[in-house]
Structure 1
Amino acid sequence: MRRLARLAARTPADRERYLDLLRAVAIMMVVLGHWAVATIGYDEHGQPDGHSALPAIPWAYPLTWAVQVMPVFFLVGGYANAASLTAHRDRGGDAGGWLLGRSARLLRPTSALVLVLAGSAVVARLVGVEPSMVRTVVWFATIPLWFLAAYLVVVPLTPLMYALHRRFGLAVPVVMALLVAAGDLGRAIGYETAALPNYLLGWLAVHQVGFAWYDARRGDCDRAGNRGAGHRAGRWTRCLPMSRRAAVVLTAAGLGVAVLLTAVGPYPVSMINLPGQRLDNAAPPSVALLAVATAQLGLILLLRERAERWLHRSRPWQAVIAVNSVVLTVFLWHLSAVILLVGALDRLGVLPTPPAGSAAWLAWRLPWVLLLTVVLAALVAVFGPIEARTGRSTASRRYGSATPAPGRPDADADRPPEDGRPHPRRVAVRGVLTVAGFAAVGYALVANSATAKTAPEPLGLPVAALVAYLAGAGVLRLLRSGWGSRG
């Protein structure tokens, strides 16, 4: 608590604390949303099986417009990545060094989950559990990794995309939204592969808006493409309009377009994918989801000033700092908590399995969520320190001091050689290896998500995916330790 109080006291007055609150709230809403819609039953083999209750409760479809908060996370990520990249470059670092530093916070808690699940799968196989059953459990526990896979693709693109933002401003997300609409049109007429780029374009569009928020926050609102007095300014600003009037327009326009696309157009109302839908809204992101994201952005801006005033109180701000120190751990382990609780209740013979949407199911929601909170708290107590330790130097820079701990290099710093001159060849090699490491990890997470949940995988994760993940994460770990930077 004393450390939290110190960090809170040292936080600069001009910090955009609201972004930290949004990150924490977005993750918590994902966790509570997954828990709330879960329905547990038994399969044909008498084993517990989990499903989403949404198909049985269509009255809840409009609620997904509020609980589908992945756009909020990418919005916050865009702001945070632009801010950290700019600060890193101001310290004399390069894009490769920045990307390497970002890998630590993302991959250390993720690696803990992957290694624990793989080790547990080996133990399960040794005691005779069928490979398909092992895979089913691991598949369910790794559902959160599909989102991380998308984010791990977006992060390495940040230096390039921020440069495009500086040149073309808000025109970039507008063009991406139009391309998403074109992909939707392709799949609507039967060409499913036409929408595959939407997996990247949709989330990148939201990420770009985060750049515009960052530029607005620091007052860098020249027209995009303005290179000086001798050049004509571009038509698109680099800054997100932050006024109350702009927030109302964004909210109304986003909601209006979303209603038209779902009530009159071909898009489903649910912003979470459901079986049997002709057009999914979330995987890949659709233009309807981008409309909802626009409305969410407007609402976020409407609440911004009041939330900022509240966050300048010590206790609320300390709570936000505390949650953000383990927020990725909470996200990664929240479905493992479901597995552990279901297994324990099934073993005790007291696992409730009411039909989805029934009165009994609704009554079970509150004790269900409370029990899961206890289990997840225990998991965070065990695995949270991995993320918290990784984020300490980052937290010091975020909330005050920029001095790394004695004897420990700053994970985000790109230290030049002692003579002050960079080593271009080493910097280039390091950059290539860093991108390759990210690519290997991203491939591993995508391959795991694409593998059927009943596939006979003895390690739970596909072997090729596990090898790729360990190789990519290992290379990034070696690079962060300074391997290859001397000699």
Structure 2
Amino acid sequence: MTRVRELVERTEAATPPDRDRAVDALRFLAILGVVLGHWLVTGLIVDSGTVHGESPLQYLPWLTPVSWVLQTLAVFFLVGGQMSARGYLSARARGWSYGQWLVSRLGRLSRPVVVLVVVWAAVAGSMLACGADWPTVRTLVHLVMSPLWFLAVFAALTAATPLVTKLHPVWPVAVVLCVDVVRLGLDGPEWLGWVNVPVGWLVPFCLGSTWARRGVPGRGTGWALLLGGAAATAGLVLLAGYPAAMVGVPGNGISNLNPPTLAAVTFGLAQCGATVLLLGPLRRVLRRPVVWAAVALANLSAMTIYLWHLTALIAVTAAGRLTGETLPGLHTVPASGNWVLARLAWLPVFAVVLLVLCAVFRRHERGGVSKV
């Protein structure tokens, strides 16, 4: 207890008085939502000796509301836009060049990504050398590397921060609308949808940038975003045929996430509104030194958690296969409520393995962390 008390006191003393602790909490909550979402909707099934992925959302549509809670990417881009714009403006005030700021900003992203790629290249090579079939290796590597698309978009938007600070959020919303009208309404080419990958996430990123320059919007704006975004999303789902799930579901003709649709953008606007409304309560809670210390320490490994959480799932699933048993919630088809209950019971095991992975790899994230 003495060590814990000392750690809490050191964290409190090291925190600048003007730091908005709620922003750190929001960033970690956004990553936590992604982690829990992946752990809940990713099943790895062995069929004729080959591993392939399955989603319970394909079999259990009543789980759709889970995607409304745990698909939190808009919150991460909102916070990322706020922090990037604030850091860029601060760097300019200090006399930094754009290149100096960008290298500092992206360093924390690139180091842990390189480590993940190198480790999994070795794992994939070892699996193939030991006789694993290519479809199995491809499934696992694709699963582990799939979160990198988000980091690539985030890095691109971060690099564009000087331009984003001059952009109104309504313009990327208009682009997404036009793309969806052409692609989905006029039967345009499918590739056009990938324009929405950077542009769709530019909407919350741009809102965050505006937040950094003009201050946090008031509660009236928060309620307008929340209610307006929710109403627009409901209209698009009920009247325009967009899927209700805010993540991709195997077998659905349209995914709201890959690439982002107008429904994903309006849903993200609702999330941004909810975020504004949560700032006050979060700030009050985070005045407690113990709570703040937990959030601050978790943020030191936030990117490591994000990058390695699917490896933890794979490791537990593979270890379960070594028992020779077909374990519910790990190896069974995710087609029943019993699978959901069993998967919930496995979440603490995933978390323990992830903590071990963080202990091994977090040093690659901490080195040379950007101060802006």
Shared fold by TM > 0.5? yes
Question: Which residue of structure 2 aligns with residue 180 of structure 1?
Answer: 176
1:360, distance to aligned residue in structure 2 (A): 2.3
Corresponding position: 1:15 with 2:19: yes
Corresponding position: 1:24 with 2:28: yes
The separation in 2 between residues aligned to 1:22 and 1:387, in whole angstroms, is 19
The separation in 2 between residues aligned to 1:335 and 1:390, in whole angstroms, is 26
Corresponding position: 1:39 with 2:23: no
The correspondence for 2:345, drawn from 353, 367, 370, is 367
The separation in 1 between residues aligned to 2:181 and 2:255, in whole angstroms, is 12
Aligned Cα root-mean-square deviation (Å): 1.8
Corresponding position: 1:255 with 2:226: no
Instruction: Say whether the 8 Å CA contact 1:330–1:376 is kept in structure 2.
Output: yes
1:48, distance to aligned residue in structure 2 (A): 4.1
1:40 counterpart SS class: strand
Structure number, greater radius of gyration: 1
The correspondence for 1:199, drawn from 178, 197, 200, is 197
1:54 counterpart SS class: helix
Question: Which residue of structure 2 aligns with residue 153 of structure 1?
Answer: 156
Task: Encode CA deviations 1:188-239: one digit per residue, 9 max, x unaligned.
Answer: 122123322111111112111001111233xxxxxxxxxxxxxxxxxxxxxx
1:332, distance to aligned residue in structure 2 (A): 0.4
1:4, distance to aligned residue in structure 2 (A): 5.8
Aligned residue type for 1:38: T
**Larger proportion of helix:** 2
1:42 counterpart SS class: strand
Task: Encode CA deviations 1:347-406: one digit per residue, 9 max, x unaligned.
Answer: 111342344242321220222111111111111111112212343xx3xx4xxxxxxxxx
Percent identity, aligned pairs only, is 35
Q: Which consecutive unaligned segments of at least 5 residues does structure 1 have?
A: 166-171, 218-239, 398-411, 413-487
Instruction: Say whether the 8 Å CA contact 2:108–2:366 is kept in structure 1.
Output: no
Matches within 5 A, 1:58-457: 58-162=61-165, 164-165=166-167, 172-188=168-184, 189-191=186-188, 192-217=190-215, 242-352=217-327, 353-391=331-369, 394=370, 397=371
Task: Encode CA deviations 1:12-39: one digit per residue, 9 max, x unaligned.
Answer: 3332211110110111111111111223
Query: For structure 1, which segment, 120-129 or 15-24, has the greater mean C-alpha deviation from structure 2 after superposition?
Result: 120-129
1:3, distance to aligned residue in structure 2 (A): 5.6
Instruction: Say whether the 8 Å CA contact 1:48–1:346 is kept in structure 2.
Output: no
The separation in 1 between residues aligned to 2:364 and 2:8, in whole angstroms, is 17
The separation in 2 between residues aligned to 1:265 and 1:141, in whole angstroms, is 33
Instruction: Say whether the 8 Å CA contact 2:52–2:136 is kept in structure 1.
Output: no
Instruction: Say whether the 8 Å CA contact 1:113–1:332 is kept in structure 2.
Output: yes
1:271 counterpart SS class: coil
Q: Which consecutive unaligned segments of at least 5 residues does structure 2 have?
A: none
The separation in 1 between residues aligned to 2:191 and 2:341, in whole angstroms, is 42
The separation in 1 between residues aligned to 2:332 and 2:69, in whole angstroms, is 26
1:124, distance to aligned residue in structure 2 (A): 2.6
* Structure 1 residues 368 and 301, CA gap change in structure 2 (3 angstroms): same
Aligned residue type for 2:77: F
The separation in 1 between residues aligned to 2:306 and 2:123, in whole angstroms, is 20
How many corresponding residue pairs? Answer: 363
Aligned residue type for 2:229: G
The separation in 1 between residues aligned to 2:38 and 2:70, in whole angstroms, is 10
1:83, distance to aligned residue in structure 2 (A): 1.2
Aligned residue type for 1:128: G
The separation in 1 between residues aligned to 2:127 and 2:67, in whole angstroms, is 36
Aligned residue type for 1:90: A
Task: Encode CA deviations 1:306-350: one digit per residue, 9 max, x unaligned.
Answer: 111111221111111111100010010111111111111001113
TM-score w.r.t. the length of structure 2 is: 0.92
* Structure 1 residues 141 and 361, CA gap change in structure 2 (3 angstroms): same
Instruction: Say whether the 8 Å CA contact 2:300–2:366 is kept in structure 1.
Output: yes
TM-score w.r.t. the length of structure 1 is: 0.71
Instruction: Say whether the 8 Å CA contact 1:342–1:351 is kept in structure 2.
Output: no
Aligned residue type for 2:195: P
Query: For structure 1, which segment, 352-361 or 97-106, has the greater mean C-alpha deviation from structure 2 after superposition?
Result: 352-361
* Structure 1 residues 318 and 65, CA gap change in structure 2 (3 angstroms): same
